[in-house]
Structure 1
């Protein structure tokens, strides 16, 4: 199988070996620190407020900087939402739910739908039943034989997240019609409808504010940051997780990738760069993933030192 990585030999890890490995690192399962996640939320809120102020300033340079800052913050918020759906943000489940719903609004992400699909992804990765919440088209780069134009189209679809926005419109319509969602229980369907109602209410409120002020506020602080920045940035963060890995293997060292990167990117991705470690121990507090990485680094098969390194090797084929 052709990959974009420099591979290191490693024997496959079966269920028993993985269970023993997880037991070896159970000491890392420390208590969740509410203050740590509250600080993350406070910083995210401050960046959102600062970005909005810049985006609404009449100077063009300020608007551009504001749109970029907001878009990046939206993508960061989606990574914080990932922490809440694993109940790793706050110790209280309701607090995780409320925070998760709010964090998903900027990128039109239903907390309940993301949680249900993502937890199944953890369960099913390594099997044909595996599905991801964010659909980038050719999700894992399986179809490598394409013309130059077809390749360009595929990457355009991936980085514009067109499939995801189409799914949001379909799900929002089902929420407006009070219909259930295929494959979900009645209770989960109610929660998914709730999230879409919250998002639609936010859209209506921002639109109404724009009309009242006779200024396209919703365009500058939401639509442009979402479409031009947040979507591509989010795709760049999430796509490498399993891209061209052995996704039909149940071994997380074979089906998932880790990108060490730097402290800034580890903060920005909220530890999502340590993705093998996350799949190895999904309930491990995010702040402990670097410690787990130090322990398992020699066994990583798909590993990069930075996101630049990953995408450079993708381009080179």
Structure 2
């Protein structure tokens, strides 16, 4: 079960205070970011992406298909690596986090500055009606009531295509090209968001130029197909369990967030996103320390699954 009856009887305010008190006792787990670890993550991601590109540009169809899947998977993985840079946990140097974060977000058209600003507010506001997330999936947390199968199917299609995100990117690109500031952001952050969007345009234009120069569909095989067919649904799958059908109006991270304990490959692919309760409990804890924190708090977690298959199997049964 996701939650125990004993825990639901504890008042929300008491549980929130207990989480705060527990957090204070776990300060000894904090360590400095280890840049060399993140550099290895980047190198592996880049290597696998390069292998995918090499396969996708072959004339043999099965090679192209494998290449598209590999590239798309690495695009989604890069978005999870970018999450680490948002919290300045990849490197000790803030500029190094920013530069790597900007690059990691480009394949999926994720503005580092916009994502960071929204994500920091998400950590602050989760548990309140003010909470908003950067990636909008429509029925974000599964709060909609009984609906027709057609409506539910449409909701899932929107989520796994990440249609809202790409519409949001286009709208923000238009604002960037006009030199306008962004709602809820100051002039400095707005300038950084414009920078990210204009840089994405430059990269896309470069891929378009390469496609024209080579006379082959480079932009299709190494970006569009991996993005739309693999990266978008993969990223949506990774993010879905985080707070879906949790108590998102409760400020206690043990109530508003879900953890999934999985194997090492999945933890690498999601970059520790599966330990999401732990991340919200101590957002400044380096990613590789989350399993250590998990061992300390496992018995307190209300929404817990032994793996992603377990989570989705139970979700489908509901």
- What TM-score does the superposition give when structure 2 sets the normalisation length? 0.97
Separation in structure 1 between the aligned mates of residue 99 and residue 213 of structure 2, nearest angstrom: 29
**3-state SS of the aligned residue for 2:138?**
coil
* Residue aligning to 1:125: 126
Separation in structure 1 between the aligned mates of residue 35 and residue 184 of structure 2, nearest angstrom: 33
* Residue aligning to 1:93: 94
Separation in structure 2 between the aligned mates of residue 140 and residue 95 of structure 1, nearest angstrom: 33
Separation in structure 2 between the aligned mates of residue 95 and residue 208 of structure 1, nearest angstrom: 29
- The Cα shift of 1:265 comes to 0.5
* Residue aligning to 2:3: 7
Separation in structure 1 between the aligned mates of residue 279 and residue 111 of structure 2, nearest angstrom: 22
**3-state SS of the aligned residue for 2:136?**
coil
- The Cα shift of 1:146 comes to 1.1
Separation in structure 2 between the aligned mates of residue 206 and residue 282 of structure 1, nearest angstrom: 36
* Residue aligning to 2:103: 102
Deviation readout 1:164-217 (Å, 9 max, x if unpaired): 110000001111111110110000000000001111100000000000101110
* Residue aligning to 1:210: 211
Q: How does 1:148-163 map to 2 (within 5 A)?
A: 148-163=149-164
Q: How many correspondences in the alignment?
A: 313
Structure 2 unmatched runs, 5+: none
Q: How does 1:16-95 map to 2 (within 5 A)?
A: 16-95=17-96
- The Cα shift of 1:312 comes to 1.0
Separation in structure 2 between the aligned mates of residue 141 and residue 56 of structure 1, nearest angstrom: 40
- The Cα shift of 1:149 comes to 1.3
Deviation readout 1:59-79 (Å, 9 max, x if unpaired): 000000000000000000000
- Give yes or no for the alignment of 1:316 onto 2:317: yes
- What TM-score does the superposition give when structure 1 sets the normalisation length? 0.97
Deviation readout 1:205-235 (Å, 9 max, x if unpaired): 0000000101110100000000000000000
**3-state SS of the aligned residue for 1:258?**
strand
Runs of 4+ in 1 over 6 A off after TM superposition: none
Separation in structure 1 between the aligned mates of residue 37 and residue 294 of structure 2, nearest angstrom: 20
Structure 1 unmatched runs, 5+: none
Separation in structure 2 between the aligned mates of residue 276 and residue 14 of structure 1, nearest angstrom: 14
More deviation in 297-306 or 13-22? Answer: 13-22
Q: CA RMSD in A?
A: 1.0
